[in-house]
Chain A
């Protein structure tokens, strides 16, 4: 199907609908499962990192994982190459 689609010049609207839904549903599911403070925490961490380095927003990941009785907060920052301010 997807091969066929790529040969067509204009994409059919149903396939656009599906792609948009896949993104928004995944996002909303993860929001519902995450802690309320996580988006704010992420923003503040980003602000601190931005104070010292030029880092792309895309390269900062804040995840909270639950394992049995404990939760692990994982902070993943990819710094740009030799570009400290």
Chain B
């Protein structure tokens, strides 16, 4: 059985697709058969970020509506073996995503893959609901900014009440917080919500912090997930996130102001202890 992970946030533009692309790529780079699915029907973009936009022939909706089979719709990544992309449809509206149709696809993919990463659209409508419905775990992508934190809390409410696991009374979805576009210098000067603030507000466990990085735009320009760029802080942060997801104990990086690292590290430990 595959593990299904939804990458969600509520708010748009916080880094869901960037995170989905790098997280799925990272899992495959670690040797796990992984497929990443774009649930943003009508506004697909995962194909661009993954660099496979010109190879999309069939998509998620074609498979749901039996116009193509999964093997025809799965796009094999050019550089990472064991990594596949399932694109969203660009022309139809989200209402074509049905619970039964999504279940059929996920069941079929479960036989072949170890991890299924679902890239959720923004909002709390049908597409977002379908992306999270069958999830076992959730990566909640949040920016250190008021509207993003508030929307993430709404999404946490949906994860705990409107998903298959919630409805059927199974063990709840495991929720992991991913903070993106973090700027430790601005946090230090009191201009940006800190990691501790966001953790306290949302009350879920932190899986990683991705610093604001020029490499993210550069990566999407080229269609190469930023995790390939290991000289960038964002690439390293996603590598750490994948390792933590796989159960490894990796210390958090990029969370301290760039100067006086050890002094601040010591202080943050004291704060945690209180």
Contact = CB atoms under 8 A, between A and B. Distances in A.
A28 B153 contact: yes
Contacts, number: 41
Contacts of B194: 14
A24 B191 contact: no
A14 B150 contact: no
Interface stretch (A15-23, A40-48, A50-58, A66-74): A15-23
B193 A12 contact: no
B201 A18 contact: yes
Interface size class of B (residues with CB under 8 A): 10 to 19
A15 B190 contact: yes
Contact of A21 (B149, B157, B161, B271): B149
A85 interface: no
Nearest to A13: B191
Nearest to A12: B190
A68 to B, nearest CB: 16
Secondary structure at the A interface, as helix, strand, loop or mixed, is helix
A3 interface: no
Interface string B166-207: 000000000000000000000101111110010001000000
Given A25-B153, A29-B157, A32-B157, A13 B190 contact: yes
Contact of B146 (A1, A15, A21, A32): A21
20 contacts: A13-B190, A13-B191, A14-B187, A14-B190, A14-B191, A14-B192, A14-B193, A14-B197, A17-B193, A18-B197, A18-B201, A21-B149, A21-B193, A22-B201, A25-B150, A25-B201, A28-B154, A29-B157, A32-B157, A32-B161
**Closest 10 A/B residue pairs (Cβ):** A12-B190, A18-B197, A25-B153, A14-B190, A17-B146, A14-B193, A21-B201, A32-B157, A14-B192, A21-B149
Interface of A: 1, 12-15, 17-18, 20-22, 24-25, 28-29, 32
